[in-house]
Structure 1
């Protein structure tokens, strides 16, 4: 009965392999390299306890438990605007919308730009959650290759052949999920050139921007565009940020930074979807961010850098010939490419049965379902002993 009355877009929406794998965390004998999960032992719990107690104190309790503006809590937007300026992105609170995590921002942006049969340019592979958000709006996908020799006319022609237009380029430019790779400055400049030529938006997913462990920071795409054009109001780049990887994923607080015409339309979507993000969470995040954000993120970098280094060393020690992997300068992930005859999903099933090690097969990160011989490993959650044991078991599995 239900299949006959569901909308056509439901055929494009499938369960997230990552969210399904997270259910395995309840099994105590599973070593999980699956989810992109911060270590809860590193949460600033004491700071949040103080913040929520203060938030529910007499000065702010009514505000915290009441409806509030769809744009978000003004002091939080002011704090974010100040942080954006440190990144080379001068803006005001009017350029900031608070969302329920950056995932909600991706959903809104898909709704804002995509009509059925339009084309979204995405990296290959790309963040699975972005594909899930965009799929509901029935687009086609084309490969975003900032350093390639493909012309804007080629992108436009391929989109027209599919019955629509190119609407945006989506990229996780720093320590991307799933590969851990970073787009260099030249690639970011090329991305802006392409977007100008095609007259499309750029969606810059900056979820991991704060988690750099090595190398020099590269200006965000939005900062580079402001340097070209002089003002955020003249820019086509939309920056999506999040507190999920730094302060807390459970509070679901993210933001969009963009030109005011974009923000005003996203506000309309926010009003229609959930009115506003939870006020109490926004106030608490503001208090914690003001109290300890820089020091806390510095501690995260130290902890996660050690785990990344430990996993890279373990891979070098235990992986068989024919397996290669990325060398991320930050973030939470390492991307493995297996011999072509291996399939990540098949290996996962064997791993869970024989080795009790979980990871994410790589096929789901490719819009065309290709590259089955890839897998994603997370290093932010497990401790060093768990990393060593898990990679040892995984190496044994891949050796057959």
Structure 2
């Protein structure tokens, strides 16, 4: 049989290294810091059960099992309107669309903006899932560095020379995957200026927004921009992508997009063609969970995750040889480790799985240009104290032997 004649974009599609590494979680001999996933023992299971019972009540089951609006379940969207207000964003129901996880939102936004050879500005490194979502639409990637030395004119010229134009800037401003980095208010304001100069939207990935353990909360980019625009969300460039996956339950696959109606109307059309609508019953269940235990749930996971982060940072300090450095995030799920020059994270992982039985994510996958070989990502969300102690002792020994 001849090879299928696929679209050119198929050649750019690659399996996620992280999704492949998740298979290691089933191996009892592996201590894994690879999966950036929530601790399932902390899920609000009772609230979810209540939500399904309520959704399948004789008075509501017709709606919960039926087709729904493409822009989403109105009560859930109203809860999100109120939640966005708590973050400093004033919006209406028409400014919110429900998606099947924020990953779908990234795919839809890429579909809306990117043509082949267009430029997507992304952080260096950036979320691997965003690179995968964008890659299908055949863009080139350039480094998003709002405090850097390159002018917007230079960035635009490079994009033009590559046969396209700059279409958007993407980042996770709070405790981003993979580094745990948080953008200061000054950096967020400079990014808004850059977006104005380039006449592009900002795609703000707020997946970890609620997972702050230390420090003072910084308003989302959308909130800062709205304040600058006189409170008018319709005048804002920023498109905020939210998710319940890191706070409530990733398996229900509920996320959202918040932005101007001009953009939301177009995204709803894409949603109609993509999957008609997100699961009706799951939207109703998330609405119930959010209304009954959201604050309590965020406080609970924050208490657990912050202690695990502190333990991981302490064990890194105790076990890592000279020449190794790492981030100290104020929230989220990740610590980013930079190895001495000359070490390769992928080769180190291969050796680790053979000898020390510790899993982590090589950092190279998070760089659009394939750089960053001497970096790795550690996730602490599912790691208890004994696991962290033993895992970091093994990892320290592995790195010391490799130097």
Same fold? TM cut 0.5: yes
Look up the SS of the partner of 1:183 in the other structure. Answer: coil
Is 1:310–2:311 an aligned residue pair? yes
Whole-Å Cα distance in 1 between the matches of residues 11 and 56 of structure 2?
Answer: 44
- Counterpart for residue 394 of structure 1: 395
Q: Structure 1, residues 147-184: CA drift from partner, whole Å, max 9, x if none? A: 11211101100101100000000010000100001010
State the 4+ residue runs in structure 1 displaced beyond 6 angstroms. Answer: none
- Counterpart for residue 322 of structure 1: 323
Cα distance, 1:4 vs structure 2 = 4.6
Q: Structure 1, residues 78-123: CA drift from partner, whole Å, max 9, x if none? A: 0000000111100011100100000000000110000000000000
Number of matched pairs: 400
- Counterpart for residue 248 of structure 2: 247
Alignment of 1:167-186 (within 5 A): 167-186=167-186
Whole-Å Cα distance in 1 between the matches of residues 289 and 40 of structure 2?
Answer: 16
Whole-Å Cα distance in 1 between the matches of residues 273 and 357 of structure 2?
Answer: 44
Is 1:163–2:190 an aligned residue pair? no
Cα distance, 1:50 vs structure 2 = 1.1
Whole-Å Cα distance in 2 between the matches of residues 137 and 148 of structure 1?
Answer: 27
- Counterpart for residue 14 of structure 2: 14
- Counterpart for residue 345 of structure 1: 346
Structure 2 unaligned segments of length 5 or more: list them: none
Alignment of 1:15-54 (within 5 A): 15-54=15-54
Whole-Å Cα distance in 2 between the matches of residues 244 and 393 of structure 1?
Answer: 31
Look up the SS of the partner of 1:270 in the other structure. Answer: helix
Cα distance, 1:59 vs structure 2 = 2.0
Two-structure CA RMSD over aligned residues (Å): 0.8
Look up the SS of the partner of 1:240 in the other structure. Answer: strand
- Counterpart for residue 237 of structure 1: 238
Cα distance, 1:28 vs structure 2 = 1.3
Look up the SS of the partner of 1:176 in the other structure. Answer: coil
Structure 1 unaligned segments of length 5 or more: list them: none
- Counterpart for residue 194 of structure 2: 194
Look up the SS of the partner of 1:245 in the other structure. Answer: coil
Cα distance, 1:146 vs structure 2 = 1.4
Change (3 A) 1:149 1:211: same
Is 1:298–2:304 an aligned residue pair? no
Alignment of 1:1-400 (within 5 A): 3-230=3-230, 231-400=232-401
Whole-Å Cα distance in 2 between the matches of residues 4 and 255 of structure 1?
Answer: 35
Look up the SS of the partner of 2:285 in the other structure. Answer: helix
Q: Structure 1, residues 308-343: CA drift from partner, whole Å, max 9, x if none? A: 000000000011111000010000000000011100
Q: Structure 1, residues 17-73: CA drift from partner, whole Å, max 9, x if none? A: 000000111111111101111000000111111111111111211111110000000
Whole-Å Cα distance in 1 between the matches of residues 4 and 190 of structure 2?
Answer: 45
TM-score of the pair, normalised by structure 2: 0.98
TM-score of the pair, normalised by structure 1: 0.99
Whole-Å Cα distance in 2 between the matches of residues 125 and 89 of structure 1?
Answer: 28
Look up the SS of the partner of 2:9 in the other structure. Answer: helix
